[in-house]
Amino acid sequence: MSGTGATTWVYDFGQGSKEQKDLLGGKGANLAEMTNLGLPVPPGFTITTDACRYFLAHRSTPPELADQVTEHLTALEKAMGKTLGDPADPLLVSVRSGAAASMPGMMETVLNVGLTDESRHGLAAQSGSERFAWDSYRRLVQMFGKTVLGIDGDLFERALEEVKREQGSDSDLDLDAGHLEDVVRRFQAIVTEHCGRDFPQDPREQLDLAINAVFDSWNSERAVIYRRRERIPADAGTAVNVVAMVFGNLGMDSGTGVAFTRDPGSGEQGVYGDYLQNAQGEDVVAGIRNTVPLTELEHIDADAYRQLRGVMARLEAHYRDLCDIEFTIERGKLWMLQTRVGKRTAAAAFRIATQLVDEGLIDTDEAVRRVTGDQLAQLMFPRFVSGGDATELTRGMNASPGAAVGRAVFSSETAVEWAGRGERVVLVRRETNPDDLAGMIAAEGVLTNRGGKTSHAAVVARGMGKTCVCGAEELDVDTAARRFTAPDGTVVSEGDVISIDGSTGRVWLGEVPVEPPSVVRYFEGAIDPDSEQADDLVRSVHRILTHADRVRRLGVRANADTAGDAARARRFGAHGIGLCRTEHMFLGDRRQLVETLILAEDDADRQAALAALAPLQKQDFLHIFAAMDGLPVTVRLLDPPLHEFLPDLTELSVRVAMAQARGEHDERAHRLLAAVHAMHEENPMLGLRGVRLGLVVPGLFAMQVRAIAEAAAERRRAGGDPRPEIMIPLVSAVQELEAIREETEEVLAQVCEEQGVELTAHIGTMIEVPRAVVTADEIATAADFFSFGTNDLTQMTWGFSRDDVEAAFFSAYLERGIFSVSPFETLDRAGVGALVRMAVEGGRSTRPDLKLGVCGEHGGDPDSVHFFHDVGLDYVSCSPFRVPVARLEAGRAALGAERAGS
């Protein structure tokens, strides 16, 4: 549009579509979509996210921007038949942020731009309402003062409260034109005092400053925190929407509201939302006055209500999903101000996805794409059991489901501080605002006594999957005194334990016990999804997971070391064990035997110690093979350094010294102390462990292999179908693997012969040392499978030990953007991921049938699962409880769902 090859920084609403979120932001793209659907959207234009990125990089707007804005503003003025800030009949606009990813309430919007001392007269004359004109002006000065001029918003709030108090009222509706004029004067004085300049009287200057302020709000503290939590890229930038104002504050025949096409809490279809008469913008979610349920609108303005219902149905059919809508009614005329595919609870996400399939709006593939592993994980959180000895205090609104127990705290700072020292806390506020975000993240749950299901607390909590009870109006919350009072007079002070139930809205003093939710009971096999017992949530989860299993290519195994875990993993849908650790099998009573093994002075002693351990090991495996009958069980031979099984050096020294002081001599303790000294390592993580141990301690690995083989033989004779796989940890060189492989094959052959059974066991290695990655082609010649130990591989790639560094500097790294998420949580694709890819290619180059899996914790992380799918692994293995999550994400990856996470 702007001629000779120059970048287009500005698009009219008529020029965009919902597919252009990256360029126009979600708000802009959807305003364009609604405009093109012919819905009543006030005209306007969008300045692109490109312009924001330019602005953030250069600290100035692109040179062509001012002209392009003028061009579009002129077109807007023509369409509206008014000029921006015209003293006689002013066009007013809103200047609204809107990034590609939804960040509700995180950045800024300024309404009524174009009002000045002069044009206010025009607005009053045109509308026939002095009050309305002053009300609009005071809103502009406040929002502009706070957002654009950076003045502390409390100063304005306080000035407004003061005027209300002087009038003996607590509602803004009781203020008349004269009072609001007084408010404007006070606001303007605040601006002059804090900025050393008067409130700008040039409409275009207002517009330009507001646009830049929106760009700047991309980097506001709360936006940064929100992005980090939601894993939204830090450099995406926001678009700016300039929209002709429509007015919900023109009297009682006007108003503003929010609507959902389905209940974002449960997924139920219907009319959900809130409406507020004679109000503008954020009033409806800010809890300044009590809203009415949207259904009331039918009685307030039947025509507008009918029209709104029509638009809602239209949007749902068009977006084929739950839509979240902002609208305003100006003297009976309906205007659409925003829509987006609405955030919802995890349960609603599953229910809605299957409802839409049943309604023929989407197919089952799409239903799988519409839900996430994180949401499924939320459905597996425990729920409150009724009863217990906690006392119920009140019931609020069930804003975001979940069961939260913790100490009551009354400020975001306290929440962060207490959570930081390991306390569980519940954040209690009158209402939350974006400054409470850090506290909301730190808390187990959020409780407010004001605001409805669309209040800030509710919307943000749902987005984070955090438990929230809002609008518990019977509670008297006194944040300054750090306590609240229940209707029966009970006073709950900071530090008292409370329980809140986001599914029912109930609030208790004390700790309510929890139980597994229906979805977990379904996974456990206790609820048959086709029976009456199954609720619609269980049925939805069952349908979606069944389909995910059908379409996924990745296998899913579990990390399990006990028969109990193995059995649960199997019920949860695991096809085998990808990592059976053996170290815990050497703890407890068996420590004695390990000590004896270490103290052994000759072969005979050593053999005796091993012989004592062998039958115990065999029992361990027997039960696990039984639980996983017919499915592979990958047993990892002993991995950690041996001194982990020995007494602590200091403790032992003290014991020996005390005995000596008493004149006693404990020979075994003495020798043990010497052994512990001898085995002390500066960097045990990089010391004598894994395959190195197997090579240095004669007979240790052979004993384990024999136990595995004998257990398998016994199962076989009992008619079972054991499928052991033997995995060697920490290999760096093919020679290490060859040596252990030879020993292992010998033991297997011996056991076959002794027991008279046929036994085969795959022998493979973990890939967790960079050298193994680089020489994967060689290592594959001695391995039947690779299993990526991505925990160790991450440590070795970055060169830091998880235990030592997580607390020390991860938060600083997250803050500085070096990580966007801990590499132990989500696989670092660029670094560790590149190594995984390299080892896959190397391994398969010499052994095309090499089986590939991953057994680090990343195997259950949604984002990482997508990577493992892409890189061509055969399976992921994760903790039993994450198995359903991995199944779902493996299905989503196969269907090309965008990515995991929200």
Active site residues: 456, 855
Q: How far is the CB of 27 from ligand ADP (least distance, A)?
A: 6
Rounded to 5°, the CA angle 113-115-121 comes to: 160
Whose Cβ is closer to ligand ADP: residue 281's or residue 445's? 281
Distance CA(164)–CA(180), nearest Å, equals 10
Residues in contact with ligand ADP by CB under 6 A are: 42, 94, 96, 104-105, 109, 111, 243-246, 281-282, 326, 328, 337-338
Q: What is the 3-state secondary structure (H, E, C) of 318-343?
A: HHCCCEEEEEEEECCEEEEEEEEECC
Closest to 97 measured CA to CA, from 271, 255, 9, 218? 218
Picked from Mg ion, ligand ADP, none, the partner binding residue 705 (CB below 5 to 8 A depending on kind) is none
Whose Cβ is closer to ligand ADP: residue 107's or residue 190's? 107
Q: Count Cβ neighbours within 10 Å for each residue of 385-409 and write b for 16 or more, e otherwise.
A: eeeeebebbbebbbbbbbbbbbbbb
Whose Cβ is closer to Mg ion: residue 446's or residue 793's? 793
Whose Cβ is closer to ligand ADP: residue 112's or residue 732's? 112
Residue spans of alpha helices (H) in 765-833: 770-774, 776-779, 790-798, 802-815
Angle between helices 834-846 and 862-871 (to 10 degrees): 30
Number of residues that bind Mg ion (CB under 5 A): 5
Site string for Mg ion, 297-326 (x = CB under 5 A): -----------------------------x
28 in contact with Mg ion (CB under 5 A): no
Structure tokens that stand for 330 in this block: 């100006």
Contact present, 265 and 400 (Cβ < 8 Å): yes
345 in contact with Mg ion (CB under 5 A): no
Picked from ligand ADP, Mg ion, none, the partner binding residue 274 (CB below 5 to 8 A depending on kind) is none
Interface segment toward Mg ion; rule CB under 5 A; list 302-310, 331-339, 408-416, 559-567? 331-339
792 in contact with Mg ion (CB under 5 A): yes
Closest to 335 measured CA to CA, from 13, 652, 614, 610? 13
Q: How far is the CB of 284 from Mg ion (least distance, A)?
A: 10
Whose Cβ is closer to Mg ion: residue 422's or residue 799's? 799
172 in contact with Mg ion (CB under 5 A): no
725 in contact with Mg ion (CB under 5 A): no
Interface segment toward Mg ion; rule CB under 5 A; list 336-344, 421-429, 453-461, 482-490? 336-344
Q: How far is the CB of 463 from Mg ion (least distance, A)?
A: 14
Picked from Mg ion, ligand ADP, none, the partner binding residue 789 (CB below 5 to 8 A depending on kind) is Mg ion
Contact present, 573 and 545 (Cβ < 8 Å): yes
3-10 contacts, C-beta under 8 A, 24 or more apart: 6/64, 7/50, 7/62, 7/64, 8/48, 8/68, 9/47, 9/48, 9/50, 9/51, 9/62, 9/64, 9/65, 9/68, 10/45, 10/46, 10/47, 10/48, 10/51, 10/65, 10/68, 10/69, 10/71, 10/72
Whose Cβ is closer to Mg ion: residue 343's or residue 543's? 343
Q: How far is the CB of 31 from ligand ADP (least distance, A)?
A: 10
Question: What's the length of the chain?
Answer: 902
3-state SS, residue 113: strand
Q: How far is the CB of 352 from Mg ion (least distance, A)?
A: 21
Q: How far is the CB of 787 from ligand ADP (least distance, A)?
A: 46
Distance CA(539)–CA(501), nearest Å, equals 23
Interface segment toward Mg ion; rule CB under 5 A; list 39-47, 197-205, 673-681, 781-789? 781-789
192 has which bridge partners? none
Q: How far is the CB of 769 from ligand ADP (least distance, A)?
A: 49
Structure tokens that stand for 31 in this block: 């305003």
Whose Cβ is closer to ligand ADP: residue 333's or residue 844's? 333
Picked from ligand ADP, Mg ion, none, the partner binding residue 792 (CB below 5 to 8 A depending on kind) is Mg ion
Whose Cβ is closer to ligand ADP: residue 104's or residue 684's? 104
Interface segment toward Mg ion; rule CB under 5 A; list 196-204, 484-492, 752-760, 792-800? 792-800
Interface segment toward Mg ion; rule CB under 5 A; list 15-23, 81-89, 516-524, 791-799? 791-799
Q: How far is the CB of 468 from ligand ADP (least distance, A)?
A: 18
Whose Cβ is closer to Mg ion: residue 301's or residue 768's? 768
Place of tokens 């959207």: 41
Picked from Mg ion, ligand ADP, none, the partner binding residue 328 (CB below 5 to 8 A depending on kind) is ligand ADP
Q: How far is the CB of 385 from ligand ADP (least distance, A)?
A: 38
Closest to 789 measured CA to CA, from 685, 891, 683, 893? 685
Whose Cβ is closer to ligand ADP: residue 80's or residue 876's? 80
Q: How far is the CB of 86 from ligand ADP (least distance, A)?
A: 17
Beta pairing, strands 255-262 & 323-330: antiparallel
Of residues 760 through 779, those in contact with Mg ion by CB under 5 A are 768
217 in contact with Mg ion (CB under 5 A): no
Q: How far is the CB of 97 from ligand ADP (least distance, A)?
A: 6
Whose Cβ is closer to Mg ion: residue 358's or residue 825's? 825
338 in contact with Mg ion (CB under 5 A): yes
Q: How far is the CB of 28 from ligand ADP (least distance, A)?
A: 10
Q: How far is the CB of 432 from ligand ADP (least distance, A)?
A: 14
Interface segment toward Mg ion; rule CB under 5 A; list 217-225, 330-338, 436-444, 863-871? 330-338
Picked from Mg ion, ligand ADP, none, the partner binding residue 96 (CB below 5 to 8 A depending on kind) is ligand ADP
Picked from Mg ion, ligand ADP, none, the partner binding residue 797 (CB below 5 to 8 A depending on kind) is none
Greatest CA separation found in the chain? 106
Structure tokens that stand for 265 in this block: 């809490």
Contact present, 880 and 624 (Cβ < 8 Å): no
Picked from Mg ion, ligand ADP, none, the partner binding residue 271 (CB below 5 to 8 A depending on kind) is none
Whose Cβ is closer to ligand ADP: residue 243's or residue 297's? 243
Angle between helices 153-166 and 130-143 (to 10 degrees): 150
Contact present, 264 and 249 (Cβ < 8 Å): no
Picked from ligand ADP, Mg ion, none, the partner binding residue 393 (CB below 5 to 8 A depending on kind) is none
Question: Which of 90, 122, 200, 789 touches Mg ion by CB under 5 A?
Answer: 789
Number of other CB atoms surrounding residue 809 within 10 Å: 14
Query: What distance, in Å, lies between the first and last C-alpha atoms of the chain?
Result: 36
Number of other CB atoms surrounding residue 527 within 10 Å: 19
147 in contact with Mg ion (CB under 5 A): no
Beta pairing, strands 109-113 & 238-244: unpaired
Picked from Mg ion, ligand ADP, none, the partner binding residue 576 (CB below 5 to 8 A depending on kind) is none
Number of other CB atoms surrounding residue 640 within 10 Å: 19
Within 55-161, strands assigned E span 83-84, 90-91, 93-99, 109-113
Whose Cβ is closer to ligand ADP: residue 22's or residue 67's? 22
Distance CA(614)–CA(866), nearest Å, equals 40
127 in contact with Mg ion (CB under 5 A): no
Dihedral sign for Cα atoms in the order 329, 330, 334, 338: negative
Residue spans of alpha helices (H) in 128-247: 130-143, 153-166, 177-195, 203-217, 221-230
Structure tokens that stand for 100 in this block: 């590609």
Residues that bind Mg ion (CB under 5 A): 326, 338, 768, 789, 792
